[in-house]
Amino acid sequence: MSSIKPKHQRLVLIVFALVALVGAGLLAAYALKNQAAYFYAPSELAAKPPETGRAIRLGGMVERGSIKTMPDGVTINFLVSDGKAKVPVRFTGITPELFVEGSGVVAEGRMAGTTFVADNLLAKHDEKYVPREMKNMTTAEAKAVIAETK
Cα–Cα distance, 106 to 103 (Å, whole number): 10
Is 146 part of a structural domain of the chain? Answer: no
| Residue 1 reports pLDDT greater than 50 | no
Q: pLDDT digit string (tens) for 21-53? A: 999 988 888 877 666 667 888 988 888 888 777
82 and 23 in a common domain: no
Question: By percentage, how much of the chain surpasses pLDDT 90?
Answer: 33
Is 150 part of a structural domain of the chain? Answer: no
Strand partners, 88: 79
Counting every residue written for the chain, the total comes to: 150
Which residue range forms the structural domain that includes residue 28? 1-35
* Number of other residues whose CB lies within 10 A of the CB of residue 39: 11
CATH label of the domain that carries residue 81: 2.40.50.140
19 and 58 in a common domain: no
- The pLDDT-based confidence of 149 (bands split at 50, 70, 90) is low
Report the pLDDT averaged over residues 73-85. Answer: 91
50 and 26 in a common domain: no
The beta strands (E) that lie in 27-146 are given as: 38-40, 56-62, 68-69, 75-81, 86-92, 104-112, 115-124
Across the chain, what does the average pLDDT equal? Answer: 83
Here the contacts of 32-38 (C-beta below 8 Å, separation 24 or greater) are 37/108
Q: pLDDT digit string (tens) for 100-126? A: 888 889 999 998 888 999 999 988 765
In the prediction, which pLDDT does 77 show? 95
Cα–Cα distance, 26 to 34 (Å, whole number): 14
- Residues contacting residue 49 through CB under 8 Å, at least 6 positions apart: 111
| Residue 72 reports pLDDT greater than 60 | yes
Helix, strand, or coil (residue 32):
helix
